[in-house]
Amino acid sequence: MKESAEVIAGVFILLGTIISLISAIGLVRLPDVYTRSHAASKSSTVGVLFILIGTLLYFLISEGYFSIRLILGIIFVFLTAPVGAHVISRAAYRANVPLTKSSVEDELKDYFQEHEKERG
């Protein structure tokens, strides 16, 4: 019983760390704020999710202890991480942080400029 718990939890936690590592590499490799927040929001959310699920399963199988706090942690990470990415990229756009050079389209620009004029 205990060994199977260790194997299952080990697989989940390993997957989670690998995904977190991918997210970190993405932060280094991608060209601008917006593409970086792609990597940061998606991969790190799922990385944390896998690690927390691994921990949950370990304590559930080996000690029969069901931790509601871990479930709540998963839900809170899920609710907050994308909002954080949205707010950061929106703030970057409003502070005129340029898109990377290979960007091909920017439909927000027209709307944004019109809007700024209205506000004066």
Partner 1 sequence: MAFQILINIIIALMWMFLSESYTFASFIAGYIWGLLLVLLLNRFIPGRFYGIRVVKIIKLILIFIRELVLSNLSILKLIYTPKPEIEPGIFALPLEVKSNWEVTLLAHLISLTPGTLSVAVSDNNDTLFIHAMDIDEVDQSIQEIKDSFEKAILEVTR
Round to whole Å and give the CA distance between 14 and 17. 5
22 binds partner 1 (CB under 8 A): yes
Amino acid at 61: I
Closest CA to 82 of 49, 38, 50, 51: 38
Q: Which is nearer to partner 1, 5 or 30 (CB)?
A: 30
43 binds partner 1 (CB under 8 A): yes
Site pattern 76..115 for partner 1 (x: CB under 8 A): ---x--xx-xx--xx--x-----xx-xxxxxxxx-xx--x
Round to whole Å and give the CA distance between 33 and 85. 10
Do residues 70 and 55 touch, judged by C-beta distance below 8 A?
A: yes
Q: Which of 35, 52, 56, 74 binds partner 1 (CB under 8 A)?
A: 35
User: Minimum distance from CB of 67 to partner 1 (Å)?
Assistant: 20
